Amino acid sequence: MNKYENKDDVYLKVKNKSKFKVFLLASVSLIFVTSILAGCAPMEPASFHRLKVKVRKLDKKTAKLSQNQQYVEKKLSQMQLNTANNGVAISSLKAKIRDIYGEYEVEHHKLNVLNKKFREYRLMVNKQLIKLLKLVKTGKASVSVSSIKKQSLRSTLVKKESSMEYGFNEAMSQFKKKKYNSALISLRNFLNKYPQSKYSADAMYYKAYANFKLKKYPVSILEFHKFSQLYPKSPDVPMSIYLQGMGFMKVSDPSDASILFRQVIAKYPGTKAAELSQKAIKGLSK
């Protein structure tokens, strides 16, 4: 019995030693982990605080940048508005300048017509005086002055009418043949010679049209405008306004072109010019 009891004691002792070693190892490990955690714990709040400070600084910078962006956008919007207002003012001034220039051209033309009529009248009077003086010298003064004047005026008017009609027809023949340079010269000469004839309105209209065909758009715009002012009841007025608009389109001024197209549509509905103006506006909107 003692022998077995000794073996049990030995086994218990060995088993107790193993448990002790395990306990000791676990204790040492726990102490080691605790010391590590104890060393790390004080560092965590400081790092977190630094991060919070950096975040706040970044938030302030972001807010400042946002304010600067809003200020710049506001200034840019104001500049765009000022530019648009200046554009409207410039367009209005351009329209007024064109109107003033058109009025000047009309008055200048009227003055030239009056001067020419005065010269023609003075020349006619001088011719009649010369004839009378010759009759007095030859003893044929018994012929009445009034009859001489009537005969002379009738003959002059017949010759003038024939020459006038021929000159206009010749200019229109050149225009129809698309010889626009020749037609322009002929029409200009015709208007200088017969500024107040029954063909004057047509001559002025086709003179402007010839300039348009020759791509002299600024000149044609002024001439169509002058024609519309001098002959507002002419059937060619709607087309002349439409062609003014086309001239502005050719010189890259769509805003003025649009105004003229709308004027044709409003004042002359049902005309060919109104139909063409409607198409032109649709083309501008594309």
Euclidean distance between CA atoms 49 and 42, whole angstroms: 12
Residue-wise pLDDT for 135-163, tens only, equals 766 765 444 445 545 555 554 544 556 77
Considering the domain boundaries, does residue 196 fall inside one? no
For residues 206 and 236, is the Cβ–Cβ distance under 8 A?
no
For residues 281 and 261, is the Cβ–Cβ distance under 8 A?
yes
Residue-wise pLDDT for 37-54, tens only, equals 555 444 457 787 888 888
pLDDT for residue 280: 93
Residue with more model confidence, 30 or 49:
49
Domain count, the chain: 1
Q: How many CB atoms lie within 10 A of CB 116?
A: 15
Which are the contacts of 251, defined by CB distance < 8 A and separation ≥ 6?
217, 218, 221
Residue with more model confidence, 136 or 31:
136
Rounded to the nearest integer, the mean pLDDT of the chain is: 78
Considering the domain boundaries, does residue 108 fall inside one? no
Euclidean distance between CA atoms 95 and 258, whole angstroms: 13
Q: For residue 143, give the DSSP letter.
A: S
Q: How many CB atoms lie within 10 A of CB 275?
A: 14
Q: Give yes or no for residue 174 having a pLDDT over 90.
A: yes
pLDDT for residue 71: 85
pLDDT for residue 66: 78
Q: Give yes or no for residue 1 having a pLDDT over 60.
A: no
Considering the domain boundaries, does residue 253 fall inside one? no
Read off the pTM: 0.47
Residue 206's Cβ-count burial label (10 Å; 0-12, 13-18, 19+) is buried
Residue-wise pLDDT for 54-84, tens only, equals 888 888 888 888 788 888 888 888 888 887 7
Considering the domain boundaries, does residue 12 fall inside one? yes
Q: How many CB atoms lie within 10 A of CB 237?
A: 22
pLDDT band at 117; cut points 50, 70, 90: low
Considering the domain boundaries, does residue 258 fall inside one? no
pLDDT band at 19; cut points 50, 70, 90: low
Considering the domain boundaries, does residue 37 fall inside one? yes
The percent of residues above 90 in pLDDT, for the chain, comes to 36
Euclidean distance between CA atoms 246 and 66, whole angstroms: 49
For residues 217 and 244, is the Cβ–Cβ distance under 8 A?
no
Give the domain extent around 36.
2-41
The mean per-residue pLDDT over the stretch 219-235 comes to 95
263 token code pair: 């004027």
Q: Give yes or no for residue 171 having a pLDDT over 70.
A: yes
Considering the domain boundaries, does residue 163 fall inside one? no
Euclidean distance between CA atoms 234 and 215, whole angstroms: 24
pLDDT for residue 25: 60
pLDDT for residue 60: 83
Q: Give yes or no for residue 216 having a pLDDT over 80.
A: yes
Considering the domain boundaries, does residue 63 fall inside one? no
